[in-house]
Structure 1
Amino acid sequence: MTRRVGRADLKAVGQVRRDLRELLRHHCRADTAEVAELLVTELVTNALVHTEGGAEVSARVKDARLRVEVRDGAARRPRPHVPSADDGTHGRGLVLVEALADTWGVDPLALGPGKVVWFELEDAG
């Protein structure tokens, strides 16, 4: 699955979730798919809110492992941080990714500016 999401198109986040759900429908347990949907929502939303351009989302299942990547054009690396109590729900996305993904990371793009933020979940396949 690959999907391009336009700059600030937060409505497209729901379509990304649906596309991922369809990909995973026959490839993993329901609880794994739910975690994947939550994490892709966080990464895509971060890319759209914290960068100037859009994002490209890709997901694949191989050897019982799901890998989801979100590419954007900003070189700045995101970092998980625990917000203060008065921040509401803002700032918790990467903390969720860190807690729920089997592995995750941030890599610079090989060509041009930008990065890919990714996570992997086992038990897909």
Structure 2
Amino acid sequence: MAETRRLLRDNLRQWGVPALADTAELLTTELVTNALQHTGGGAELTATLSFGPRNLLRIEVSDGLARKPAPGPPGGDHATSGRGLLLVEALSDAWGVHSRGRGKVVWFELRFAPR
């Protein structure tokens, strides 16, 4: 997990938006931890920076795309729960979940001021 945080911080610095690093790292850690903990498989992280009218950093964490999820709490494979998601909701500008294959993708967006 430390390597993931370091790579994210390095990319944000290179992209010219280092002010997003602390919040992005915290929320990404929560999503990756949830994916690893609740699926018994791996997680894939995608970070996209978009300039334009909305200036957004979008982080997506996909879990178990081809793997059967580990047994979890009631509510099925697409249930979301936990304090980590409360942080995501409180600190992000937008977030959501969508299905992909046998897994799901949880994402969040952070707006930033233009350079």
TM-score, length basis structure 1: 0.73
Unpaired runs of 5+ residues, structure 1, are 1-12, 81-90
Partner of 2:89: 98
Matched, 1:62 2:50: yes
Give the whole-Å Cα distance in 2 for the aligned partners of 1:43 and 1:24.
Answer: 18
The reply on whether 1:76 has 2:77 as its aligned counterpart is yes
Hey, what's the Cα distance between the residues in 2 that align with 1:106 and 1:79?
9
Runs of 4+ aligned structure 1 residues displaced above 6 Å come to none
* 8 Å Cα contact 2:62-2:106 kept in structure 1: yes
Cα deviation, residue 78, structure 1 = 4.0
Identical-residue share of aligned pairs (%): 56
What is the TM-score with the length of structure 2 in the denominator? Answer: 0.79
RMSD of aligned alpha carbons: 1.7
8 A Cα contact 2:9 2:18, kept in partner: no
Per-residue CA shift, 1:54-75, capped at 9, x if unaligned? 0101101111210000001247
Q: Secondary structure at the match of 1:25?
A: helix
Partner of 1:121: 110
- Aligned residues, how many? 100
